[in-house]
Amino acid sequence: MRKLIDLHLHLDGSVPFTTIKELMTIHGLPTIDDQILRQKLSVGPDCRDLNEFLEKFAFPVHLMQTAADLQLIVFSLLKKIKKQGLVYVEIRFAPQLHTEQGLTQEEVVRAAISGLNQFFNWQKMHSSSQPELHANLLLCLMRLPHNYDQNLETITVAKHFLDRGVSGLDLAGAETPAFAISNYTSLFNLASQNSIPFTIHAGEAMGPESIYQALDLGARRIGHGIRCIEDTQLVAELIQNKITLECCATSNLNTKVFDQIDHYPVKKLLNQGVNVTLNSDDMTVSNIDLPHEYQLLEEKTGLTRADEKQLYLNAVTAAFCSNAEKKRLFSLI
């Protein structure tokens, strides 16, 4: 089994199907036929765009409003991806989306960290020949109307838990001109002042200009960023400044960034010297996992084992984790 790293994995888009069913039972929700439930949680080949893709998050988020829910989901997700050969993962979510039943953002994050710790304890008790899976959390600021205070609170919570389960920030949500990245300058300036690492979703629904905005804010990693391929000057800047792209192949097909996987440019960018990584994004929404993504690109784009080793090394270099963890990850390859 190959060793894998996922730097771009959304918690609410990756809740295991069996865990969704368990939570529905816990909360007394009516039973839904499995096929209908999967349609509720996952996109099909006829998905129109990113906005339709994002609609699939509504039902899982409804089931993620108590501390027990969040702890169970994090624990269950980590157990699932451990079986896939992952050795390190950064799980991202927006605490402000999980406060509908009275939890504070701090309580939300505490619950997620409890899920991490529950998994780490379980992992110690179930030793195997596979390397340990280590994990950190990224807290997402959201592109939403009138939520500056909630985003500011997320930064405060991230600072409080930094290096204690939380390792960075993100900016997520619909990419539209109304929510241009430049609108969030003051928030990311605050993150920088507090030495909180961050990545920013850009270059997916919106083009290269959104990546330039993320770079202007100081982002060293770009969530997706795949549309950099449209701007040769931008590609050169990414190479020169060693900016890492968190590429998510099937997700970009789902949201119609690309029409065919054969044209997906991870291998091309890798050969040009861009610090590319390969990630799953939303396992449940896209109905995939990370081993599937590697196999897909092997079959459709000629991705080689040497390419995959470089993707792994790029991920270790870019990970928001301690130097000791980076040393462990490098030793595994």
Query: Distance between CA 120 and CA 118 in Å, rounded?
Result: 6
**CA-CA-CA-CA torsion for 225, 227, 231, 234, nearest 10 degrees?**
0
Query: Distance between CA 61 and CA 79 in Å, rounded?
Result: 20
Residue type, 3: K
Q: What share of the chain is helix, strand, coil (3-state, %, to 5)?
A: 55, 15, 30
In the Cβ-directed half-sphere of 113, how many Cα atoms lie within 13 Å?
Answer: 19
**Would you say 49 and 255 are in contact if contact means Cβ atoms under 8 Å apart?**
yes
204 given a catalytic annotation: yes
Question: Smallest Cα–Cα separation from 219: which of 248, 197, 194, 247?
Answer: 197
Catalytic position from the list 90, 153, 175, 204: 204
Segment (H or E) for 23: helix 17-26
Hey, which residues are catalytic here? 204
